[in-house]
């Protein structure tokens, strides 16, 4: 089960000039589609004198949501070349905006594809990348006498204790790597001889 994905730790900018046109590329980490659209709007507002704002983004751990926009450039010459740079690095939750200031000389279809792709590539190359781990949140409930086997179980996995509550028993919320959930559940149940409970936290 795949439980990791790559995204930007932080964004970066890059700039190229081609036959007088200036291409300003900005790579931006985004959490969702709303964040991507907000970032695009902010860049449009900031660079309000530009000729085009061409964009592409991929969203979600499986990168199953993606959008691209040529913003008035000939179809297929801007948004798709930008998207290919994001896809080629297997990135998600990533937006790239390439803003063009027209310099008076037409570049042609091939020239536009190269320029937008190169500008996006340079911005992404300058952006630090991080690997994120998908985790399931599990609620553990166990008695005080079972603290040792419960903690030993947690230590055997890539699991992070997120919350702990003490009363007549102990309740913990633990973030367990998605690919390890079944094994974690089995070991917890066996280690406590069925005395504890383990349930998935929804949402």
Please, are residues 126 and 87 in contact by the beta-carbon 8 Å criterion?
Answer: no
* 43 and 122 part of one domain: yes
Domain edge (last residue) among 131, 151, 170? 131
Q: What is the CATH number of the domain that holds 72?
A: 3.30.230.30
pLDDT score of 114 more than 70:
yes
Q: Tens digits of per-residue pLDDT, 1-48?
A: 578 999 999 999 999 999 999 999 999 999 999 999 999 999 999 999
Stated pTM of the model: 0.82
Handedness of CA 75, 81, 87, 88 (dihedral sign): positive
Total count of domains within the chain: 2
Contact 153, 128 (CB under 8 A): no
Alpha helices in 3-107 (DSSP H): 33-46, 79-88
CA angle 118-122-124, nearest 5°? 115
Please name every residue paired with 57 in a beta bridge, in sequence order, or none if there are none. 67, 95
State residue 203's pLDDT score: 67
Q: What number of other Cβ atoms are within 10 A of residue 110's Cβ? A: 9
> pLDDT per residue over 75-108, tens digit each?
999 999 999 999 999 999 999 999 999 988 899 9
Domain co-membership, 82 together with 27: yes
């Amino acid at each position: 089960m795949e439980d990791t994905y790559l995204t930007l730790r932080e964004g970066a900018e890059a700039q190229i000039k081609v036959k007088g046109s200036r291409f300003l590329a900005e790579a931006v980490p985004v959490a969702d589609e709303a964040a991507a659209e907000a970032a695009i709007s902010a860049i449009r507002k900031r660079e309000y004198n530009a000729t085009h704002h061409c964009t592409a983004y991929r969203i979600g751990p499986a990168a199953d949501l993606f959008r691209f926009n040529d913003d008035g450039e000939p179809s297929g010459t801007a948004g798709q070349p930008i998207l290919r740079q994001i896809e080629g690095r297997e990135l998600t939750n990533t937006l790239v905006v390439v803003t063009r200031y027209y310099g008076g000389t037409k570049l042609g279809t091939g020239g536009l594809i190269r320029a937008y792709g190169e500008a996006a590539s340079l911005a992404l190359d300058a952006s630090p990348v991080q690997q994120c781990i998908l985790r399931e949140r599990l609620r553990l409930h166990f008695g005080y006498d079972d603290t040792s086997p419960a903690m030993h179980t947690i230590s055997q996995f890539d699991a992070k204790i997120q919350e702990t509550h003490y009363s007549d028993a102990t309740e913990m919320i633990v973030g367990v790597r998605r690919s390890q959930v079944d094994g974690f559940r089995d070991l917890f149940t066996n280690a406590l001889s069925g005395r504890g409970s383990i349930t998935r936290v929804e949402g």
